[in-house]
């Protein structure tokens, strides 16, 4: 089996907007993690959470990664947080990544930082391929 990976890069906060994938369902501009009036959802671990884009992102990431931390068949998620240096976003994106630090989570304050980050991710992916 080959290692599978997703590189997820975002340049903004997770906010609801008119015309987004949710068609403004979460309102225009409120922080996605603060929306509480859209009911509850069941997370992959069986716990309940508010139905909002932040929690949906966490649920999707958990399903992609697999529920077992050492599952060799799980997809690895590399996250690059670009420019937006918001502590709440950082916490969310570290939870989305396979692990909350390098080589799975990176903060790129500007375009110049991206080259080194992509090189580090590529080197890690190459190492995964060689080991398996």
pLDDT tens across 81-130, in order? 999 998 989 999 999 999 999 999 999 999 999 999 999 999 988 865 55
- Going by C-alpha positions, the residue among 7, 11, 29, 30 that lies closest to residue 84 is 11
Q: How much is the pTM? A: 0.79
Range with the poorest average pLDDT among 20-29, 30-39, 48-57, 103-112:
20-29
Judged against a pLDDT cut of 90, whether residue 31 lies above it is answered with no
Identify whether the C-beta of residue 6 lies closer than 8 Å to the C-beta of residue 63.
no
Q: Which helix (H) or strand (E) holds 79?
A: strand 76-82
Kindly report the backbone phi and psi dihedral angles of residue 91, in degrees, each rounded to the nearest multiple of 5, phi listed first: -60, -45
Q: Which residues of 48-73 are buried (b: 16+ CB within 10 A; e: fewer)?
A: eebbbbbbbbbbebeebbbeeeeeee
The residues, ordered by sequence, that sit 6+ positions from 27 with a Cβ below 8 Å of its Cβ are: 16, 35
């Amino acid at each position: 089996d080959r290692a599978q990976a997703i590189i997820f890069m975002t340049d903004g906060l997770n906010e609801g907007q008119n015309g987004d994938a949710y068609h403004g369902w979460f309102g225009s501009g409120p922080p996605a993690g603060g929306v509480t009036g859209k009911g509850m959802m069941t997370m992959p671990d069986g716990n309940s959470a508010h139905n909002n884009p932040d929690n949906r992102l966490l649920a999707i990431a958990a399903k992609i990664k697999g529920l077992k931390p050492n599952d060799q068949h799980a997809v690895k998620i590399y996250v690059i947080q670009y420019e937006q240096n918001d502590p709440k976003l950082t916490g969310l994106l570290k939870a989305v990544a396979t692990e909350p630090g390098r080589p799975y989570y990176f903060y790129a304050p500007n375009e110049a930082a991206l080259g080194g980050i992509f090189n580090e991710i590529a080197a890690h992916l190459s190492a995964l391929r060689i080991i398996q």
